[in-house]
Amino acid sequence: MDFNIASDHWEALDLLKAVTSLIIGMILGAERELKDKAAGFRTITLICLGSTLFTLLSYKLGMGESEDATRIASYVVSGIGFLGAGVIFKDGFTINGLTTASIIWIAAAIGMSIGFGQFYIAFTFLGASFVIIHLGGYINKKLLTMISLKNIELQIDKKDYESRNELETDINTFCKRIELRQMEEHTNIIILHYECKVYTKKVLDLENYLVNNKYINSFKI
């Protein structure tokens, strides 16, 4: 393949693609920057612009002898995965950075669509992304009011330890998620410490279950 790309292969449309990618990247990046996220204005803008450039190069180099105009562009997808993973971290039950990682992913996808000249797709998904970002935040706030984080301490006899899985399964019906944080072994008893995201409307039902369960000697919430 001849890697010396003729100057007439680079058209005014390519400049338009670069400018469009820059603007869209800046819009997406500004949204993250205003929320003080790890990947902000510069990062998102460069990701969008870089994806467009790789797509353009893939298309240009694929002209002529090679019919594979998507070879380079295909590696953008895997490369973006590493960047996205770098902004995700877990703190207890909370996983931070998922939205930012998703925006990195969509910024790259939009950049690639611009590189292939699919402007209507790029602007359609840019609009859809903003609808999801803002509407999703509203829905999350409403849902979070329906869930409360509880630390539950259960005391059971050692002889009843085999009932632990049954207890966790039953408790999980009242919760969005349950996680064993600590287990203390004493002479005749075991104390289990759980962190649970309990559905607010099921808190009383959970307490009634714990009171009436035959394996539980005592509990604290």
Instruction: Flag whether 177 is in a domain.
Output: yes
Q: Which long-range contacts does 156-164 make (Cβ < 8 Å, 24+ apart)?
A: 156/189, 156/190, 156/192, 156/215, 156/216, 156/217, 157/188, 157/189, 157/190, 157/215, 157/217, 158/185, 158/188, 158/189, 158/190, 160/215, 161/190, 163/215, 164/192
144, 159, 186 - which closes a domain = 144
User: At residue 75, what is the residue type?
Assistant: Y
Number of domains in the chain: 2
pLDDT at 94: 63
DSSP annotation of 38 reads S
pLDDT at 70: 67
Give the model confidence (pLDDT) of 84-130 as tens digits. 777 777 765 567 778 888 889 999 999 999 988 899 999 999 999 88
Same domain, 188 and 122: no
Q: Which of 78, 74, 17 is closest to 49 using CA atoms?
A: 17
6-10, 25-29, 66-70, 181-185: range with lowest mean pLDDT: 6-10
* Res 6 pLDDT > 60: no
Instruction: Flag whether 1 is in a domain.
Output: no
Position 20 confidence tier, pLDDT thresholds 50, 70, 90: very high
pTM for the model? 0.59
Position 7 confidence tier, pLDDT thresholds 50, 70, 90: very low
Residue 209 tokens, joined: 């279950």
144, 160, 190 - which closes a domain = 144
Give the model confidence (pLDDT) of 156-196 as tens digits. 888 888 888 888 888 888 888 888 888 888 888 888 988 88
Same domain, 107 and 195: no
- Range of 202's domain? 147-220
144, 170, 202 - which closes a domain = 144
Same domain, 216 and 172: yes
Give the model confidence (pLDDT) of 41-78 as tens digits. 888 999 999 999 988 888 777 664 555 666 777 788 88
CA atoms within 13 Å, Cβ hemisphere of 221:
15
Same domain, 21 and 128: yes
Instruction: Flag whether 174 is in a domain.
Output: yes
Q: How far is CA 30 from CA 26, 44, 87, 143, 156, in A?
A: 6, 9, 17, 26, 53
DSSP-assigned beta bridge partners for residue 21: none
Instruction: Flag whether 2 is in a domain.
Output: no
Instruction: Flag whether 36 is in a domain.
Output: yes
Residues 59, 75: Cα–Cα separation, whole Å: 13
CATH of the domain at 214: 3.30.70.260
